[in-house]
A and B are shown apart, each in its own frame.
Chain A
Amino acid sequence: MQSFLNFTVVGIALAAVYAIAASGLVVTYTTSGIFNFAHGAVGMIAAFLYWQVSAPTVSGGWGWPVWLSLIFVIFVAAPIFGALLERVIIRGLEGATEVVKIVVTVSLLLALVGMSQWIWPGNITRAIPRLFPEVDDRITIGDVRVPYDRIVILVAAIIVALVLRVVLYKSRAGIAMRAVVDDRNLVRLNGARPARISMLSWAMGASLAALAGVLNAPFSNVDAITMTLVVINCYAAAVVGKLKSLPLTFLGALVLGLGEAYAGSYLDSTVKIGGYSVDGVKFALPAIMLFAVMVAQPQARLRAGGVQRVRETWRVPTMRTAVIGAVVLVGSVWGITELIELDAERGPLVTGLFFALVALSLVPLTGYAGQISLAPMTFVGIGAIVMAQIGKDGSTPGAVIVALAVCAVVGALVALPALRLSGIYLALATAAFSLMMSKVVFSQPKLVSGGTIAVPPLDLGVFVPRTNQQQALLLAVSFALLGMFVVWMRNGSWGRRLIAMKDSPVACATLGLDLTRTKIGVFALSASIAGLAGALANRSMPTTDYDLLASMSLTTLAVVGGIGAIGGALFGGFLLGTVQGLIPALFRDNTIGIFRFVQVAVTDLVKVLPGFMGISLGRNPSGAVGQIGDAYRAVGESKEATGLSVFGVVALWVLAKSDTIGNWTFVATMIVLLFAILPLLPILISPLPGRRALPAGVVLVVGLVAVGAIDWGTAIESTGVRVMMMFLATAVISGAATAVHGALPSDAPVEPSPDLLGVDRPITKSDVMEADRMLGLHESDLARSIAGGS
């Protein structure tokens, strides 16, 4: 009995931390409509900052007194940070799709985790002392001893509840915050400034995250990931309150805190079921609760509010483009691997292709159907386990098929409860699933021995990938085939259905489409593709390769690449592969010493790069590949330009293969070709009147030859600087050619003048409509003015 009461005390204190964190989450979500996945990371940064200011100078801190540190972190630094976040990042998200909103705050989480590892590297232990370190600092009620600091936490939670109540119901700013939820425009018509109100609510949210982070820090490892995840647990509490109700959120926090305390104490960690330990279940409690709550929610109402216009735009890929793309991909991969002599140096290519294959799993799910998953790497892990278990002494092709099937079934089961609800719940459910799998399944020694999964190579009899080159080719062919399959599907009836569902779910339902079944289908497909990537991994995979953060990085970069297109998946995969593999390898010993004023270790920069790339998405929600595609589309449309570019690439490759030019020179000339010459080629071939196409062409050719004449392999010692110089040279050549040509490329969309319609291409019906619109003609006006005489 006494121990039960002691566990209860622990549970209530934990619940209080969850309640504080969750209430911050709810306040920001209700007022801005943005679910802040980085809430936990804000708490984590706050805890580190608290350590920084309060730790004694001998251990690297600044030695401020505790009271000052608390006030500084919770009431100064955190609110300013929250307000800045709102101003710089969140405000730009108005009108963005749910997927972009989710990815941007997930990226923020990644960036903050990366930054904390950079600023506070894990090479020293940072302990945050308890507020009342003495053993006697506690009160004893009967047999139960309650330490002071647990009481402090509880009191803090009560104060937070009271303050929130007063602020939200008594102060004008708080009333305005609630009013924003009802009707943002009406708030403006009342003369209040919603922008300021949002900043205030984000400041409050960050402050609450900081409070939770600092209060919890003494009881947790001071480690970026652990501390971020602790606050992530509060998602479950917030979901109990449907992300709206603060009292229910507090209740959810209480259930969660007590449940965790009891499970942690009473669950016998030695119990095994069929050789599998149940120890991990106690860590998975928040995830289990999240799922349970979602199952209990009623189906989300369909909304018939008129379709929203989104900022993303995609072209429908044709089968022809897909086949050409597939051939080019496999050919390029072969060509590149042929040039690299050391097999080990082909590693980054394999990594990039592997991530690209996983990113491809998000194209139908996120790109077409508009749903999101924060667990693609979890399915990779499942696929890898199946392959390792079945494939190690059996048939590997059979194991691949089983992996596909298992992932499809698991995917459908995970998605089922969340798909009835809106997009944010699917993101939460997949995140929870990822955490749960890491704690419960990927921690089983029987499945993941020594913390790694040894995935055997796929044995097709005639072909077994033993070298990186063979593995790269296997992945490239898999990506090419699956890519063609996805394009084929997009052009078929099921693909159209997915797009229709993304455009207007309510219209689909009134046409007789079973939304839930369609969504489950696409989720299962997506999970299978990810599982396939895991089954084909052909290496030892440590658990960090398929945990939540790995999934978050992948989803972020896939969306950054441009998830509505196959090319975007490839690009996103290579971004992640490059960031994780190539850049650290190239720049191993480099710091980016910008004139030696600022020294940033490249390996540190890499930690925050995916996050910042994701955050940039708020400005360009179509992802990178759309813009890249626009730049090169003209090349594909002109036969001459296509021919010249294929010739150029092949010629350079032959030169390199025959050792006429060094490999580094090949890289340099390819960069010039791809980034300076190709985008300009179409306008040079069909010149605009009054422009100097020929001299510009000469500049490009001279530039290419000049770059090719340099023996890059020996000219610059550091590989990192070498690559940067190549891009610099390319930029110079491109700039010079453009200046000579006389046409400044502008990326700002220029509204075409109606006078120019039909000059550059045949007039279409939509052009006429557009012209009507621009000239302000309305068909009915015209009709009336003609008929109006009578």
Chain B
Amino acid sequence: MALLETRGLTIRFGGNLAVSEVDLAVEAGAVTGLIGPNGAGKTTTFNMICGVLAPTSGQVILDGRDVSRLGTHKRARLGIGRTFQRIEVFSSMTVRENVQVGCEIRQGWGRTTAPGPQLLAPKGAELTAADEVDLILDRLGLTEHAEVRAGQLSTGRARLVELGRALAIRPRVLLLDEPASGLDDTETEEFGLLLRQLADAGLSILMVEHDVPLVMKVCAQIFVLDFGRIIASGTAADIQQNEAVLNAYLGSAK
């Protein structure tokens, strides 16, 4: 069964149906892609999943539990982490502090919710908060920028900081909104490897990304959103063959 599901997710802004009847399924321990042209409603869908926007109708199901009525912070405590399309780093803090705050907030969740293990660490490793911050910085290649103010980073690096911060809360599902935009080719490749490794360790990832080769490479399952609706879903091979996707994504040839 899928770890994260949306059922009939729909939102209307004024007269515009921004997202309509979207059903997504994110399998445990896999990378799932959500692609589509600009303005198709991908970020809006993310906002509904993590509770920043309230859908007009539809449900968000995490591990069999309907979380549609919970606030953003409660969903985070249940294991939904995310990054943002438009950078939301803590710009007045250093890179290290950004990740550290993530750890500290998680430690402050209280007894009601127990977060999972740190997926970047070897299984069963005991981590202090400081170790965990160092580990995350190291694995994301941020160690040498640790003392730089996040507000001064390039877009690509700021995205990595957001990813590190999200990993600090040890999520079960991670929503990544265009994580590779701003990274160069080498960095993108490393990033792809990192995603694979996280998935192998058991993390479910739902990723919105415009770098189509990356998506094709790392995603087991891909959903294509156009005009607020799912127009196709399947493996990379299925999607590449799909005429509707080509038309939607690259525009109709004249």
Contacts and interface: CB of A to CB of B under 8 A. Distances in A.
Judged by CB atoms under 8 Å, the answer to whether A and B touch is yes
Interface stretch (B96-104, B213-221, B228-236): B96-104
A779 B184 contact: yes
Contact of A507 (B43, B89, B100, B154): B89
A514 interface: yes
Given A301-B53, A511-B105, A511-B169, A499 B92 contact: yes
Interface in A539-568: none
Interface string A762-780: 0011100110000000011
B17 interface: no
B101 A304 contact: no
Contact of B169 (A493, A512, A514): A512
B86 A304 contact: yes
A306 B52 contact: no
Contact of B81 (A313, A510, A770): A510
Contact of A504 (B51, B53, B90, B148): B90
Interface in A277-312: 301-302, 304-307, 309
Interface in A492-519: 493, 496-497, 499-500, 502-504, 506-515
Interface string A219-248: 000000000000000000000000000000
A506 B89 CA distance: 10
Contacts of A769: 148, 152, 154
B72 A302 contact: yes
Contact of B86 (A302, A306, A764, A780): A306
A377 to B, nearest CB: 29
Interface in A731-790: 764-766, 769-770, 779-780, 783-784
B97 A496 contact: yes
A770 B72 CA distance: 36
Contact of B105 (A301, A302, A497): A497
A506 B88 contact: yes
Interface centre among A306, A309, A510, A780 (most CB of B within 10 A): A510
Given A769-B152, A783-B185, A307 B88 contact: yes
Contact of A493 (B93, B108, B151): B108
B148 A512 contact: no
B214 to A, nearest CB: 15
Contacts of A513: 73, 76, 105, 108
Interface string B90-130: 11110001001110111111000100000000000000000
A485 interface: no
Contact of B52 (A302, A309, A764, A766): A302
Given A497-B101, A511-B106, A783 B186 contact: yes
B69 interface: no
Contact of B93 (A503, A512, A764, A784): A503
A784 B186 CA distance: 10
A512 B165 contact: no
Given A304-B84, A513-B73, A507 B165 contact: yes
B82 interface: yes
Contact of A509 (B73, B149, B184): B73
Given A514-B73, A769-B148, A304 B88 contact: yes
Nearest to B50: A510
A504 B89 contact: yes
B145 interface: yes
Given A307-B89, A307-B91, A511 B166 contact: yes
B91 A503 contact: yes
A313 B168 CA distance: 27
Interface residues of B, number: 52
A266 interface: no
Interface string B69-83: 001111011001110
Contacts of B84: 304, 306, 506-507
Contacts of B71: 509
Contacts of B107: 493
B76 A507 contact: no
Nearest to B151: A309
Contacts of A499: 90, 92-93
A169 interface: no
Interface string A663-706: 00000000000000000000000000000000000000000000
Interface of A is mostly: helix
Contact of B148 (A304, A506, A509, A765): A765
B25 to A, nearest CB: 21
A765 B104 CA distance: 26
A742 B148 CA distance: 35
Contacts of A314: 92
A784 B74 CA distance: 44
A546 B17 CA distance: 52
A174 B154 CA distance: 41
A765 B153 CA distance: 11
B47 interface: yes
A765 B90 contact: no
A304 B90 contact: no
A177 B82 CA distance: 38
Contacts of A502: 92
B67 interface: no
A58 to B, nearest CB: 61
A304 B177 CA distance: 12
B144 interface: yes
A510 B81 CA distance: 6
B89 A511 contact: no
B87 interface: yes
A512 B185 CA distance: 33
Contacts of B185: 780, 783
Contacts of A512: 73-74, 76-77, 105-106, 109, 113, 169
A515 to B, nearest CB: 7
Contact of A515 (B50, B73, B102, B154): B73
A454 to B, nearest CB: 43
Nearest to A782: B184
Interface in A513-546: 513-515
Contacts of B162: 507
B106 A503 contact: no
Contact of A511 (B85, B154, B165): B165
A440 to B, nearest CB: 34
Contacts of A514: 73
Nearest to B115: A512
B161 to A, nearest CB: 11
Contacts of B88: 304, 306-307, 504, 506-507
A305 B86 contact: yes
A667 to B, nearest CB: 39
B152 to A, nearest CB: 6
B150 to A, nearest CB: 8
Contacts of B165: 507, 511
Contacts of A504: 88-91
A230 B93 CA distance: 43
A776 to B, nearest CB: 13
B12 to A, nearest CB: 15
Contact of B101 (A313, A496, A784): A496
Interface string B54-72: 0000000000000000011
A317 to B, nearest CB: 14
B72 A509 contact: yes
Interface centre among A301, A307, A515 (most CB of B within 10 A): A307
A704 to B, nearest CB: 40
Interface of B: 43, 47, 50-53, 71-74, 76-77, 80-82, 84-93, 97, 100-102, 104-109, 113, 144-145, 147-149, 151-152, 154, 162, 165-166, 168-169, 184-186
Pairs of residues from A and B, 9 with the lowest C-beta to C-beta distance, nearest first: A306-B86, A780-B184, A512-B76, A509-B72, A493-B104, A503-B90, A507-B88, A504-B88, A512-B77
8 contacts: A304-B47, A307-B151, A496-B97, A496-B101, A500-B105, A506-B84, A507-B165, A510-B72
Interface of A: 301-302, 304-307, 309, 313-314, 493, 496-497, 499-500, 502-504, 506-515, 764-766, 769-770, 779-780, 783-784
